[in-house]
C-alpha cells in the first residue's frame, strides 16, 4: 500500500487526484484549511474505497502550519510515496491596484509552500530511493498574465530544476500545466469567466488521468490535451511582445 499527500485535496483538481488515488487503493493524507470539508471528503473516500485517509488542517500561507505538513512528509515511520503540491487560488485584482497582503499570501501558497514541501518530500523520498512529486502549475506560467502567471512560471522552472537534481535517485518531479479547468477556483475569486468558450474548459478527472500517465512516463512538464500543448508552444516560442499583447493586462483607460 502506498500513500499520497495532496494539498488542497478537498476541491477541484486536488479532489480529483484524491479520488483517483483512493480508487487505486492508495492511502491518503489530505491538506486544506476547512476542517469540516476535510472530514466530509475523508469519510466519503473511506466509505467508497476502504483506504486510510488522514487529514491535516493547515493554512499553507502560515509558516508554522506549513512546517507541520513538511514534518509529516519527513516522518520516516509513515512514508509518503507521492506528493501533489496542488493548493492554490487566484486573485481578481490587478497587481498595482490590489492589496499587497493578498499578493503575498498568494505567493506564499503558490510558491513558498511548493518550495518547502518539495524539499521535505524529496529528501524523504531520496532516502527510500523512490517516489514522485507533482507540482500543479499552469499554462498561465508561459504567459504575461500578472503575478499569478509569474508564480506559476516559478513553479514550472523550479520543478524542472528539481527533476534534474533528482535524476538517478528513483524519485521524479513533474510540473502539471493545465489550461482552464472546471473547479471552484474562479468562483472563489469572484472571476467572471463568461468569455471563455465551453470547449476551452477541461474536466478535472480527465486532467488528472492524463497527468498521472505523464508522471508514469517520467515527463518533467505535463500539458494535457493537444489544444493546450499548442497554446503552450505558441506562448513559449512566440515573440514575447506578441505574448504580452495577447495575455497581459490591458492598460487602464484614462478619462
Ligand X SMILES: NC(=O)c1ccc[n+]([C@@H]2O[C@H](COP(=O)([O-])OP(=O)(O)OC[C@H]3O[C@@H](n4cnc5c(N)ncnc54)[C@H](OP(=O)(O)O)[C@@H]3O)[C@@H](O)[C@H]2O)c1
Contact 109, 60 (CB under 8 A): yes
Part of the chain binding ligand X (CB under 6 A), chosen from 17-25, 32-40, 91-99, 245-253: 32-40
Site for ligand X in 159-198 (CB under 6 A): 178, 180-181, 183-185, 188
How far apart (Å, rounded) are the C-alpha atoms in residues 69 and 119? 12
Selected from 4, 5, 11, 72, the binder of ligand X by CB under 6 A is 11
Q: Which is nearer to ligand X, 58 or 133 (CB)?
A: 58
148: annotated active-site residue: yes
Angle CA 168–174–176, to nearest 5: 170
Count the neighbouring beta carbons within 10 Å of the beta carbon of residue 69: 23
Selected from 28, 55, 80, 136, the binder of ligand X by CB under 6 A is 136
59 binds ligand X (CB under 6 A): yes
Retrieve residue 250's grid coordinates.
490591458
Q: Which is nearer to ligand X, 126 or 200 (CB)?
A: 200
146 binds ligand X (CB under 6 A): no
Part of the chain binding ligand X (CB under 6 A), chosen from 56-64, 72-80, 96-104, 228-236: 56-64
- Of 114, 113, 108, the C-alpha closest to 135 is 114
Q: Which is nearer to ligand X, 8 or 121 (CB)?
A: 8
Angle CA 127–68–6, to nearest 5: 70
Torsion of CA 253, 236, 199, 13, to 10 degrees: -100
Residues binding ligand X: what is the number (CB under 6 A)?
A: 29
CA 28 to chain centre: 16
Give the nearest distance from C-beta 219 to ligand X in angstroms.
Answer: 17
DSSP E strands: which ranges in the chain? 3-7, 27-32, 53-57, 82-85, 131-136, 171-176, 221-222
Selected from 109, 120, 162, 175, the binder of ligand X by CB under 6 A is 109
Selected from 5, 13, 80, 212, the binder of ligand X by CB under 6 A is 13
Q: Which of 148, 151, 212, 228 is catalytic?
A: 148
- Of 88, 94, 95, the C-alpha closest to 111 is 88
Q: Which is nearer to ligand X, 142 or 243 (CB)?
A: 142
37 binds ligand X (CB under 6 A): yes
How far apart (Å, rounded) are the C-alpha atoms in residues 26 and 24? 6
Residues designated catalytic = 148
| Binding site residues, ligand X, CB under 6 A | 7-8, 10-14, 32-34, 37, 58-61, 86-89, 109, 136, 138, 178, 180-181, 183-185, 188
Amino acid at each position: 500500500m502506498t500513500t499520497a499527500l495532496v494539498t488542497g485535496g478537498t476541491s477541484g483538481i486536488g479532489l480529483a487526484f484524491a479520488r483517483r488515488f483512493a480508487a487505486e487503493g492508495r492511502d491518503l493524507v489530505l491538506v486544506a484549511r476547512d476542517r469540516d470539508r476535510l472530514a466530509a471528503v475523508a469519510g466519503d473516500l473511506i466509505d467508497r474505497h476502504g483506504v486510510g485517509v488522514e487529514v491535516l488542517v493547515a493554512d499553507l500561507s502560515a509558516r508554522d502550519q506549513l512546517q507541520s505538513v513538511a514534518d509529516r512528509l519527513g516522518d520516516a515511520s509513515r512514508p509518503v510515496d507521492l506528493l501533489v503540491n496542488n493548493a492554490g487560488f487566484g486573485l481578481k485584482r490587478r497587481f498595482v491596484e490590489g492589496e499587497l497582503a493578498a499578493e503575498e499570501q498568494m505567493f506564499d501558497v503558490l510558491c513558498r509552500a511548493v518550495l518547502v514541501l518539495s524539499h521535505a518530500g524529496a529528501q524523504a523520498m531520496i532516502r527510500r530511493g523512490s517516489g514522485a512529486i507533482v507540482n500543479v502549475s499552469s499554462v498561465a506560467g508561459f504567459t504575461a498574465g500578472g503575478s499569478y502567471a509569474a508564480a506559476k512560471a516559478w513553479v514550472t522552472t523550479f520543478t524542472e530544476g528539481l527533476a534534474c537534481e533528482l535524476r538517478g535517485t528513483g524519485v521524479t518531479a513533474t510540473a502539471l500545466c493545465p489550461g482552464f479547468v472546471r473547479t471552484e477556483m474562479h468562483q472563489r475569486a469572484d472571476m467572471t469567466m463568461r468569455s471563455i468558450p465551453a470547449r476551452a474548459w477541461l474536466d478535472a478527472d480527465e486532467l488528472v488521468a492524463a497527468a498521472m500517465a505523464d508522471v508514469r512516463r517520467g515527463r518533467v512538464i505535463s500539458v494535457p490535451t493537444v489544444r493546450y500543448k499548442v497554446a503552450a508552444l505558441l506562448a513559449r516560442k512566440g515573440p514575447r511582445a506578441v505574448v504580452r499583447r495577447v495575455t497581459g493586462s490591458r492598460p487602464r483607460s484614462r478619462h
